[in-house]
Amino acid sequence: MAHQRWKEIFARHPNKIRFFRAVRNYTARRLKPGMQLLDIASNDFRYAPLFPGVRYIGADINQKSLAKGTAKFPDSEHLAVCCGAAQLPFGTAAFDIVVSTHTLVHLADLDEFTAAVDELVRVLRTDGDLILGMTDRPAKTKVIVATIGGQFSRITQVHYRRSLVAWWESRVVIKAMTGKRPILSGLLSAVGPLIYAADIFGPATYTLYVCEGKA
């Protein structure tokens, strides 16, 4: 069942193969039933299946996305909290695992970004784990490295590309393909394989930081 869920998620995001491999390696070694996991900017709980057996709290500013998440997982082990990443309504050291992927870079203001990164660490237990994924941006990467440095016993960085493919997979393109626009749809279908090929040779654009807490 878990295997099937992984397959489904991967089928929707084939560009993230290294991301999924790294998360799976992590969960196989570190995940224990009953752990408390906070997913910041969780959207519709799309990555909840990657962390089976934990108590999953999805936090997002979009109430509609959260409602979709709770509809998908209508059980007491999946909860939704509507809040902004820079001001989390949780106590200090409340979680065993904090996850945040594909979002914080969109916080345009560096102070807000820094506050959000500080919040991720604040709500994490001192022996807790942080899984943080972000598009590479020098100023923001500097903040991350300064914040997580020295806090964890082991930090693994996984780099992967997702520029063109992310665009290709974006809703706009998918919509154009599935809508009633045969010419556009045909054109995009033809160009798709070239985009995947181009991304293989492009520079890495994205880093996943898998940070394991001090025992």
Say whether residue 114 binds ligand SAM (CB under 6 A): no
d(Cα 35, Cα 49) in Å, to the nearest integer?
A: 14
60 binds ligand SAM (CB under 6 A): yes
Q: Which region among 57-65, 72-80, 90-98, 162-170 touches ligand SAM (by CB under 6 A)?
A: 57-65
Question: Residue 141 or 185: which CB sits closer to ligand SAM?
Answer: 141
Closest approach, Cβ 80 to ligand SAM, in A, equals 11
User: With the CA atoms of 59, 108, 154 and 45 taken in that order, what torsion angle do they form, in degrees rounded to the nearest 10?
Assistant: 20
Among 23, 41, 57, 158, binds ligand SAM (CB under 6 A): 41
Residue 85 binds ligand SAM, judged by CB under 6 A: yes
Closest to 121 (Cα-Cα) out of 93, 145, 142, 146:
93
| 84 is an interface residue for ligand SAM by CB under 6 A | yes
Q: How do strand 206-213 and strand 124-135 relate by DSSP bridges?
A: antiparallel
Strand 124-135 to strand 36-40: parallel, antiparallel, or no bridges (unpaired)? unpaired
CB of 102 to ligand SAM, least distance (A): 3
Please report how close the Cβ of residue 100 comes to ligand SAM at its closest, in angstroms: 7
Q: Which of 51, 90, 101, 114 is close enough to bind ligand SAM by CB under 6 A? A: 101
DSSP string, 3-53: HHHHHHHHHH-GGGHHHHHHHHHHHHHH--TT-EEEEET-TTTTTGGGSTT
| Cα–Cα dist 38/41, whole Å | 10
Contact segment (CB under 6 A) with ligand SAM among 25-33, 68-76, 103-111, 187-195 equals 103-111
Cβ nearer to ligand SAM, comparing 101 with 199: 101
Total residues at the site for ligand SAM (CB under 6 A)?
A: 15
Closest CA to 144 of 133, 128, 153, 154: 133
Q: Report the SS3 class of residue 194.
A: helix
- Give the C-alpha separation, 198 to 163, whole Å: 10
User: Can you give the binding site for ligand SAM, defined by CB under 6 A?
Assistant: 41-43, 46, 60-62, 65, 84-85, 101-103, 106-107
